[in-house]
Structure 1
């Protein structure tokens, strides 16, 4: 199960007004998890759909009309000891604040963000809406493990003329989620579309950025590929990122490379975590420009990273009809090591020596 609108009933909402944020927790219509699981498909669909509507928010707004909004994605993961913990919410909170300010709206404080995420997950868990750890997940390195996906997002006040938001809402919804990418071949293709341009909003997790990503990913799927990869807008030869993920290349020289950050690349939390984990095991890890030619000449392994993607190995990459197959189409040793270390920390199998996991229950 990938993303879904089967949201949990407790929702967080904050409103900016008069230089301050007011907060509330809304408990939407629900039954017990067991009762909901036993409902007919039609009745459950109606109940689930009702949790996605808010009668007291404007339909016509700067968000709905112009895509003026930003969002985050982070996970609370069931722990092997029975608990539930969120992966690095402080970093998501910092990025969300920066995104809001980057769109010239009031920034939502990172400390409020973390507290709201923890409390929203905790309240839903108290009602029984949460996944529990299963030892069977360890067999495939947690690639199909369950977790709670949190989607914090901004929503503007009503407005119809092209303008900026001065009094936004911040909402946090939570849903159950497992694997983001479907099973089968993990082949990727370089898209001709341009995701972000210099001096634009590529570094912001802005809603509008994902229109191009959605189009390019759909084109990739129709071509039989799992993922698409974007090149830079200026020279059209340097890798930037995937449709909703950062990208890494492990070269034959032993260097792990990911495109350097700038105003066209999203600063991923999983990205920075993988860089740290790789350096911990003395892998030369660089943040720099990396071209199509360099990857096709020296690429040994490739993987994408993100909250949803985790660490997902890419078996091949196609560009202008040319194809490179990484590690004979098998998951590389370094890709597997980094994936297993990250997942082990997230699900409480490995000790969290970095303080990345924030306990919920």
Structure 2
């Protein structure tokens, strides 16, 4: 079973480059059959995977590697019972990637090309056997153990060393097998005293550099026995904004589902928008997008969870800030959180009708 993120890049990758216009190619990296690769010893398998993660035509020194001037997306393709694979809302990833590149003053990547390239990468790898098969056993835990394909489209600058912006960027799409994002065990969170994003910055862009502070804080939190870290606003350090790499939700005692309103410090998550739609239109839950203080969240919430492409929907059993801890649902996933998870995963894996037209056939 795939566990979280791995660097087991599948053989077919996509590379585009902007000069006067976008040009593209699909590249088949070295590989054996999936069965043959599974039989390799660790050293030979690592050697093969290293070749798949090698892009000699991409410059080492550039605006991306030197200054974090790049952006990326995270998206998934899900195996279906009938043997097909389907992408979840790739048009939304395409639109956000377009906005991110434009926000970093690069030539933006065409959205239609983004969707088609994503489909092709998955389809080509599937023909080689690099794709998970649907397992009905996943239904027993609402697909929390389900496997899928993770796609990582990202921008990459042309050669450069001075301060500047990419005028001739690359766009690369790779894919890997992926399983559960959060490890079993603790689902506790701690409030960070550091700042993830500030007004007028790049918090709304899925920008490489945005992840430095969250990664450092998440690792510090894990070392202290927590699963996640929660960030507050930069101005008053009072209002909840995000987790380390995910949006956050609170079900209040009056049965209203609240998530922080979008602004230029919060990433517009695609799973976030999907959960809001499922909650209001399928489950009949009142939803609000607004400011929510950490005090209100800790005093008045009865359920709490984070959402994202990698995380899916993961409940938080508690949030700690300094010497105060708020616990939710006696440490167990709440009823609404479970219903949302079950519905979201059911749509993604094809068990529940996709009434919103979110799932896109790969072939």
Query: Which band: TM-score by shorter chain?
Result: over 0.9
Q: In the alignment, is the contact (CA less than 8 A) between 2:186 and 2:225 conserved in 1?
A: no
> Where does residue 172 of structure 1 map in the other structure?
173
Tell me the residue number matched to 1:285.
287
Aligned length: 360
Q: Deviations over 1:115-136 (max 9, x none)?
A: 0000000000011100000011
1:45 and 2:46 equivalent?
Answer: yes
RMSD (CA atoms): 0.6
Counterpart position of 1:322: 324
SS at match of 1:343: helix
Per the TM alignment, residue 109 of structure 1 is displaced from its structure 2 partner at its CA by: 1.0
For residue 269 of structure 1, what is the aligned residue in structure 2? 270
Please tell me whether residue 234 in structure 1 is matched to residue 240 in structure 2: no
The unaligned stretches of length 5 or more in structure 2 are none
Give yes or no for contact 1:5–1:49 (8 Å, CA) kept in 2: no
Distance 1:79 1:342 in 2: 14
Residues 1:108 and 2:106 are matched in the alignment: no
Give how far 1:50 is off. Answer: 1.0
How much has 1:56 moved relative to structure 2? 1.4
Residues 12-52 of structure 1: CA distance to partner in whole angstroms, max 9, x if unpaired? 0100011x100100000000111100111110000001111
Query: Whole-Å Cα distance in 1 between the matches of residues 305 and 230 of structure 2?
Result: 11
Looking at structure 1, the residues matched to 257 and 109 of structure 2 have their Cα atoms a distance apart, in angstroms, of 35
Distance in 2, matches of 1:40 and 1:318, equals: 44
Cα displacement (A) at 1:83: 1.0
1:309 and 2:311 aligned: yes
Spell out, residue by residue over 1:191-233, the C-alpha distance to the aligned partner (whole angstroms, 9 max, x if none): 1110000000000000000011110101100110000010000
- Report how far residue 65 of structure 1 moved: 0.5
What is the CA–CA distance in structure 2 between the aligned matches of 1:296 and 1:176, rounded to whole Å? 36
Q: Which runs of 5+ in 1 are unaligned?
A: none
Structure-1 residue corresponding to 2:348: 346
Residue in 2 aligned with 1:151?
152
Structure 1 distance, partners of 2:197, 2:297, is 21
Q: Do 2:70 and 2:207's aligned partners in 1 also have CA atoms closer than 8 Å?
A: yes
CA displacement, residues 77-135 of structure 1 (integer Å, 9 cap, x when unaligned)? 00122211000000000000000000000000111100000000000001110000001
Alignment-derived partner of residue 250 in structure 2? 249
Tell me the residue number matched to 1:134.
135
SS in 2 for 1:230: strand
Q: Which residue of 1 aligns with 2:302?
A: 300
Partner-residue secondary structure (3-state), 1:39: coil
Please give the alpha-carbon distance, in whole angstroms, between the structure 2 residues aligned to 1:82 and 1:126: 12
Q: Is the 8 A contact 2:239 2:293 kept in 1?
A: yes
In the alignment, is residue 36 of structure 1 matched against residue 43 of structure 2? no
Following the alignment from structure 1 to structure 2, what is the Cα–Cα distance between the partners of residues 112 and 84?
A: 19
Q: Displacement, 1:240?
A: 0.2
1:164-188 per-position Cα deviation (integer Å, ceiling 9, x unaligned)? 0000000000000000000012111
C-alpha displacement at 1:6, in angstroms? 0.6
Pairing 1:57–2:78 present: no
Tell me the secondary structure at the aligned position of residue 13 of structure 2.
strand
CA distance in structure 1 between the partners assigned to 2:186 and 2:4 by the alignment: 17
TM (normalized to structure 1)? 0.99
Q: How much does 1:312 deviate? A: 0.6
Give the secondary structure class of the aligned counterpart of 2:249: strand
What secondary structure sits across from 1:189 in the alignment?
strand
1:223 aligns with 2:238: no
Equivalent of 1:332, from 334, 338, 341?
Answer: 334
1:45-80, Cα deviation, whole Å (9 max, x unpaired): 000011111111111100010010000000000012
Deviating 4+ runs (over 4 angstroms): none
Instruction: Give the Cα–Cα distance (whole angstroms) in 2 for the partners of residues 296 and 208 of structure 1.
Output: 30
Cα pair 1:72 1:153 within 8 Å, conserved: yes
What is the CA-CA distance between 1:257 and the residue it aligns to?
Answer: 0.3
